[in-house]
Homo-oligomer: A and B are copies of this chain.
Amino acid sequence: MSQSPVSRVPINLVDKLAQFSDLWSQKKVADLNDYEVKLAKLKGEFVWHTHDDTDELFLVISGRLTIQLRDGDVVLEPGELFVVPRGVEHCPVADEETAVLLLEPAGTLNTGDAGGPMTKAAETLS
């Protein structure tokens, strides 16, 4: 069986971030097995929610992200990452517009168990 050619195009995070401006809308930029690498722009406060089945990784690219936990806050500057463990309620908030890289299994819903109007499926960036 012949293998299809492998894409050899690097994914430039700054270029990808320039392709969209909507807030709280996850954009998939790569697949890793059954995980998705996504970008998002955040400003303001999200909703408190929990992912019962998966950990969730946040890596801040620009801006400043506070991940509120019931025990206290985690503040992430650019170049800093944090993994919210499965089952831990959290609520992201950003005073200024903040760009993040997210990593979690495909199909993970942004609002987890909370649902509501901010629920949105990830879109794929071209």
Interface residues of A (CB under 8 A from B): 3, 5-6, 8-14, 29-33, 35, 37, 54-57, 61, 69, 71-77, 79-83, 85-88, 103-105
Q: 11 extra interchain contacts, Cβ-Cβ under 8 A, other than A8-B74, A29-B81?
A: A6-B69, A6-B85, A8-B69, A8-B72, A10-B80, A11-B80, A11-B82, A12-B80, A13-B79, A37-B81, A103-B103
> What chain B residues lie within 8 Å of A73 (beta carbons)?
8
When C-beta atoms are compared, the residue in chain B nearest to A87 turns out to be: B3
Hey, which chain B residues are within 8 Å of A6, CB to CB?
69, 71, 85, 88
Closest partner residue, chain B, to A14 (CB atom): B79
Contact check, B80 vs A13: say whether CB atoms are below 8 A apart: yes
Q: Contact at B10–A74, with CB atoms within 8 Å? A: yes
The 10 closest A-B pairs by CB, nearest first: A10-B80, A8-B74, A11-B81, A32-B55, A12-B80, A13-B79, A10-B76, A32-B57, A30-B83, A33-B55
